[in-house]
């Protein structure tokens, strides 16, 4: 463990040493001096050797440990830099955890590779977001798509006195991207990627196709397993060795099942291409709701419900129907001090959605269960408990 005592007071030093019972402690300056650049490297570095095992988010089930090579980690950082085009004053800023590829490869390694400062906050706070960014001098902000509507729900006054020149995220609707850029005065770059494949597509601000993730980056082939203009599974194949993960840790069966016969990785995501060749992310295939013969994208339901001023967060999930398909269940959290009934929300949706999309079941919660990367754990919300309101026939 490396420490810098000059940054810690006496009690903090004691806490650090107490927590490192099984670790060796080194003063950072002394350690760096002892392993200076003049010290010969003891062996030959293999770029395709495992560099990390990073676990998937597990929003729809058990997490899987993806084996990522040294080449993978650096390839992702380089791809990110090619997309964001860093400038001299940039400070890379995020609130995402380092045990996922977003913060690890894009923010941290991207910043280090570019020679720019990196700030990683402990957690996301909508109420303090702009204050923290301003104080840290963040200019390139790495977000999750779910954070965008939350930030848009904060105080209605415009926020433009900040240094941010670019926000980066994925899975954001076109209206939300446009509202974010207009209100906060920030260009928004939409990207697509996974733990196993890294960053695969990007839409540069001002390039058209708002609400899509743009086109495939040079190292990737991306296809949609469906007729043109229809939703299908997004499948990805690397054009460059080391750009793709090397399988799931101690799970050969799931590794084999993750690939098609011609070598494309099966993402489990739904997408479609528009006439301009831009890829749209439509949600997880496992999350898709089949009701009355129609496929329903949860994100479309969630976006409509989120327009109600009382809604802080919401998620749509499938519930098995007595007719062998699904019913739509909407789980929601309201803003502090707000008042709204399930009946009022149901009527709100009937005015804005096709009848087959309007949720039948409604459940209010104080918080939504989330992963450490703040993605909602949908599989934990699919039951019908005593607090669920059934709006059938209303």
The label of the residue with tokens 């433009």 reads 160
Q: Do 239 and 219 contact (CB within 8 A), yes or no?
A: yes
| Residue 39 within any structural domain of the chain | no
State how many domains the chain has: 3
- What is the distance, to the nearest Å, from the Cα of residue 333 to the centroid of all Cα atoms in its chain? 20
Task: Express each pLDDT in 314-353 by its tens digit.
Answer: 999 999 887 778 999 999 999 888 999 999 999 999 999 9
| Residue 44 within any structural domain of the chain | no
Reading the chain (394 residues) residue by residue, the pLDDT tens digits are 677 777 766 666 666 666 655 567 777 777 777 766 666 666 677 999 999 999 987 655 678 999 999 999 999 999 999 999 999 999 999 999 998 899 999 999 999 999 999 999 999 999 899 999 999 999 999 999 888 988 988 877 767 789 999 999 998 888 889 999 999 999 999 999 999 999 999 999 988 889 899 999 999 999 999 877 778 999 999 999 999 999 999 999 999 999 999 999 999 999 999 999 999 998 888 888 988 888 888 888 998 999 999 999 999 999 988 777 899 999 999 988 899 999 999 999 999 999 999 999 999 999 999 887 778 898 899 889 899 999 987 7
Q: Are residues 280 and 201 in the same domain?
A: yes
Q: Are residues 339 and 279 in the same domain?
A: no
Q: Are residues 100 and 168 in the same domain?
A: yes
Q: Are residues 133 and 276 in the same domain?
A: yes
* pLDDT computed for residue 22 by the predictor: 59
Q: Are residues 347 and 310 in the same domain?
A: yes
Closest to 189 measured CA to CA, from 167, 217, 160: 167
Q: Are residues 119 and 106 in the same domain?
A: yes
Q: Do 373 and 58 contact (CB within 8 A), yes or no?
A: no
Write the CATH number for 335. 3.30.300.30
Closest to 105 measured CA to CA, from 129, 70, 57: 70
Considering 254, 285, 316, which residue would you say is the last residue of a domain?
285
Q: Are residues 209 and 347 in the same domain?
A: no
Q: Are residues 154 and 279 in the same domain?
A: yes
Q: Are residues 338 and 240 in the same domain?
A: no
* pLDDT computed for residue 108 by the predictor: 96
Q: Are residues 111 and 243 in the same domain?
A: yes
Q: Are residues 7 and 96 in the same domain?
A: no
Q: Are residues 131 and 263 in the same domain?
A: yes
- What is the distance, to the nearest Å, from the Cα of residue 296 to the centroid of all Cα atoms in its chain? 21
Return d(Cα 360, Cα 33) in angstroms, integer. 65
| Residue 187 within any structural domain of the chain | yes
pTM for the full model? 0.77
| Residue 43 within any structural domain of the chain | no
* pLDDT computed for residue 283 by the predictor: 84
Q: What range does the domain containing 10 cover?
A: 2-34
């Amino acid at each position: 463990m490396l420490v810098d005592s000059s940054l810690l007071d006496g009690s903090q030093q004691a806490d650090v040493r107490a927590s490192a019972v099984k670790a060796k402690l080194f003063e950072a300056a002394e350690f760096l001096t002892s392993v200076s650049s003049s010290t010969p490297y003891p062996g030959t570095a293999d770029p395709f050797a495992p560099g990390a095992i990073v676990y998937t988010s597990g929003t729809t089930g058990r997490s899987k440990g993806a084996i990522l090579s040294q080449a993978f980690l650096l390839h992702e950082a380089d791809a990110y830099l090619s997309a964001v085009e860093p400038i001299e004053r940039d400070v890379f800023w995020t609130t995402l955890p380092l045990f996922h590829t977003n913060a690890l490869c894009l923010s941290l390694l991207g910043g280090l590779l570019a020679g720019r400062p990196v700030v990683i906050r402990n957690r996301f706070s909508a109420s303090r977001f702009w204050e923290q960014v301003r104080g840290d001098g963040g200019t390139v902000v790495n977000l999750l798509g779910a954070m965008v509507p939350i930030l848009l729900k904060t105080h209605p006054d415009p926020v433009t006195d900040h240094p941010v020149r670019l926000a980066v995220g994925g899975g954001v609707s076109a209206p939300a991207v446009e509202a974010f850029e207009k209100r906060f005065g920030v260009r928004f770059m939409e990207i697509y990627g996974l733990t196993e494949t890294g960053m695969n597509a990007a839409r540069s601000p001002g390039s058209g196709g708002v609400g899509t993730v743009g086109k495939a980056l040079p190292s990737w082939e991306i296809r949609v397993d469906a007729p043109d203009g229809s939703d299908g599974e997004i499948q990805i194949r690397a054009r460059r060795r080391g750009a793709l993960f090397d399988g799931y840790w101690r799970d050969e069966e799931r590794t084999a099942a993750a690939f098609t016969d011609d070598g494309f990785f099966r993402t489990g995501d739904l997408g479609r291409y528009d006439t301009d060749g831009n890829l749209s992310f439509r949600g997880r295939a496992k999350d898709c709701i089949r009701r009355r013969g129609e496929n329903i994208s949860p994100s479309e339901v969630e976006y409509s419900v989120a327009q109600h001023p009382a809604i802080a967060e919401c998620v749509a999930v499938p519930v098995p129907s007595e007719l062998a398909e699904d019913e739509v269940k909407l789980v929601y959290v309201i803003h502090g001090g707000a008042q709204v009934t399930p009946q009022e929300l149901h009527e709100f949706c009937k005015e804005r959605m096709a009848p087959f999309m309007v949720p039948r079941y409604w459940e209010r919660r104080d918080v939504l269960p989330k992963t450490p990367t703040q993605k909602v754990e949908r599989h934990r919300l699919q039951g019908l408990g005593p607090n669920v309101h059934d709006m059938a026939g209303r």
